[in-house]
């Protein structure tokens, strides 16, 4: 029997244009999922807010006002949509074209697409990229996962466990395109890296303090989402050598990241996954992270990095002093074994098959 080729419509995050960095890790996740499935012969179209850029698949841009980021809505018990909402407009487009597709793949961390699931003829797969943040979203995840078992996926067990019915969620992991990252056996000089949106939940201040204590340069990569927070960090650690490198393309990011002795990941929230960790591994860079959330399922303590108690700058500093125990090649090997696009593509394909042909 010849294998079925699926027509897939991906709906990007409505918080910002694809390629802007506002969406954080979900932007890379969506594009890698498209690559993985196209490589298996499936057809992908991406729907994303106006101003988006991508070269991985056909792109349809939709106008409208952006959605407020869920991480600023912690504890919310109501849903807020702006007038002429891009999220509403994207899902209106999806409704109009749904008959041309076998499955819709939702990347919005939002109430509306979940709610719409029973109203569409076409099956919908939902990618929930962050941990539980608000009761209103948690309740809708719970409701839809009951009505549509297998329709909702998260990255890690740790992320699933933050939801009230987390046992109903699929654990799908991640994949990255390893051909985009060059392995660096030894950086030219010792330095630290920090990668992510510059926003309080990501905890950059702890990395800045560790840099100040060790005297190592800290290279910071990512979009400044909160200017006040960023200025405060620079003022609080005047003796830290902090270099802000900007928000870089994957290629430029990996070139510079590969030159780091370690990536510090210091999130203050339950990080659902942490794309930056596997990108660092792909360059041969060990990860020193807090022992929390998805990162505990990624970093192998003492082998590909170190896990330290959340908020412990001393822990970070002690781990930095032990970096010579880590073989950089082991980091690259872990990512090759666990996070390749091929393996992830197989998993996504099997998931979609279940949703498209539930009776089989």
Q: Are strands 43-49 and 124-127 parallel, antiparallel or unpaired?
A: unpaired
Residue 221 binds to ligand UDP (criterion: CB under 6 A): yes
258 binds ligand UDP (CB under 6 A): no
Q: Where are the beta strands (DSSP E) in 174-328?
A: 192-195, 218-221, 242-246, 262-265, 287-290, 305-308
Find the binder of ligand UDP among 196, 258, 284, 286 (CB under 6 A): 196
Residues 6+ apart with CB under 8 A from 305: 262, 263, 277, 286, 287, 288, 289, 299, 319, 326, 331
CB of 144 to ligand UDP, least distance (A): 22
Q: Closest approach of Cβ 220 to ligand UDP, in Å?
A: 9
Interaction residues for ligand UDP, span 329-358 (CB under 6 A): none
Q: Is 49 in the site for ligand UDP (CB under 6 A)?
A: no
70 near ligand UDP, judged by CB under 6 A: no
Binding status of residue 113 toward ligand UDP by CB under 6 A: no
Q: Which region among 82-90, 179-187, 273-281, 326-334 touches ligand UDP (by CB under 6 A)?
A: 273-281
* Residue 222 binds to ligand UDP (criterion: CB under 6 A): yes
**For 228-274, where are the E strands, in sequence order?**
242-246, 262-265
Burial of 71 (0-12, 13-18, 19+ CB in 10 A): buried
- Nearer to ligand UDP by Cβ, of 250 and 333: the residue is 250
Among 255, 283, 265, CA closest to 176 = 283
Part in contact with ligand UDP (CB under 6 A); list of ranges 41-49, 99-107, 109-117, 269-277 = 269-277
Decide: is 253 part of the binding site for ligand UDP (CB under 6 A): yes
For tokens 């694809």, the residue is 18
- Coil, strand or helix at 23: coil
**Backbone φ and ψ of 79, nearest 5°:** -105, 135
Q: Is 198 in the site for ligand UDP (CB under 6 A)?
A: no
Q: Is 298 in the site for ligand UDP (CB under 6 A)?
A: no
Residue 20 in the binding site for ligand UDP (CB under 6 A): no
Q: Which of 25, 166, 175, 315 binds ligand UDP (CB under 6 A)?
A: 25
Question: To the nearest whole angstrom, how small is the minimum distance from the Cβ of residue 247 to ligand UDP?
Answer: 4
Among the listed ranges 43-51, 91-99, 268-276, 349-357, the one in contact with ligand UDP (CB under 6 A) is 268-276
**Strand runs (DSSP E) across the chain, as ranges?**
7-11, 43-49, 58-62, 103-106, 124-127, 152-154, 170-171, 192-195, 218-221, 242-246, 262-265, 287-290, 305-308
**Cβ 358 to ligand UDP, closest distance in Å?**
31
- DSSP assignment of 308-347, as one string? E-TT-HHHHHHHHHTGGGS-HHHHHHHHHHHSBHHHHHHH
- For residue 187, state whether it binds ligand UDP (rule: CB under 6 A): no
Q: Output 310-316 pairs: Cβ under 8 A, ≥24 positions apart.
A: 310/268, 311/206, 311/268, 313/206, 313/209, 313/210, 313/213, 316/206, 316/207, 316/210, 316/264, 316/266, 316/288
Minimal distance, residue 348 CB to ligand UDP, in Å = 17
Stretch that binds ligand UDP, among 94-102, 272-280, 321-329, 350-358 (CB under 6 A): 272-280
CB of 184 to ligand UDP, least distance (A): 17
Stretch that binds ligand UDP, among 20-28, 91-99, 105-113, 160-168 (CB under 6 A): 20-28
Residues 26-45 that bind ligand UDP (CB under 6 A): 28
Q: What are 21's two structure tokens?
A: 């960095």
The answer to whether residue 174 forms part of the interface with ligand UDP (CB under 6 A) is no
Q: What residues line the site for ligand UDP (CB under 6 A)? A: 24-25, 28, 195-197, 221-222, 247-248, 250, 253, 273-276, 279
């Amino acid at each position: 029997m010849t294998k079925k080729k699926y027509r897939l419509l991906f709906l990007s995050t409505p918080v910002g244009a694809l390629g802007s960095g506002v969406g954080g890790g979900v932007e890379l996740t969506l594009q890698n999922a498209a690559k993985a499935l196209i490589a298996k012969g499936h057809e992908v179209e991406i729907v994303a807010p106006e101003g988006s850029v991508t070269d991985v698949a056909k792109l349809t841009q939709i106008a409208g006002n952006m959605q407020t980021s869920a991480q600023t809505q912690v504890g919310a018990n109501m849903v807020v949509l702006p007038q002429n909402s891009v999220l509403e407009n994207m899902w209106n487009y999806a409704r109009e074209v749904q008959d041309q597709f076998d499955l819709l793949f939702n990347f919005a961390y939002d109430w509306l697409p979940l709610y719409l699931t029973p109203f569409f003829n076409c099956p919908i797969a939902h990618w929930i990229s962050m941990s539980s943040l608000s009761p209103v979203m948690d309740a809708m995840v719970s409701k839809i996962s009951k009505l549509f078992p297998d329709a909702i996926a998260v990255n890690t067990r740790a992320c699933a466990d933050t939801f009230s019915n987390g046992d109903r969620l699929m654990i799908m992991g991640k994949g990255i395109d390893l051909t985009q990252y060059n392995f660096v056996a030894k950086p030219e000089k010792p330095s630290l890296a920090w990668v992510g949106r510059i926003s309080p939940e990501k905890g950059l201040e702890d990395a800045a303090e560790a840099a100040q204590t060790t005297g190592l340069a800290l290279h910071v990569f990512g979009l400044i989402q909160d200017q006040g927070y960023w200025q405060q960090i620079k003022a609080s650690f005047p003796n830290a050598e902090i270099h802000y490198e900007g928000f870089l393309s994957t290629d430029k990011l990996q070139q510079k990241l590969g030159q780091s002795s370690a990536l510090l990941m210091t999130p203050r929230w339950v990080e659902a996954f942490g794309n930056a960790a596997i990108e660092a591994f792909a360059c041969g860079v060990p990860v020193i992270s807090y022992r929390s959330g998805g990162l505990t399922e990624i970093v192998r303590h003492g082998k590909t990095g170190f896990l330290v108690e959340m908020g412990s700058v001393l822990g970070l500093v002690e781990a930095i002093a032990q970096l010579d125990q880590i073989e950089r090649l082991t980091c690259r090997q872990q990512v090759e074994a666990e996070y390749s696009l091929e393996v992830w593509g197989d998993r996504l394909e099997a998931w979609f098959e279940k949703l498209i042909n539930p009776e089989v």
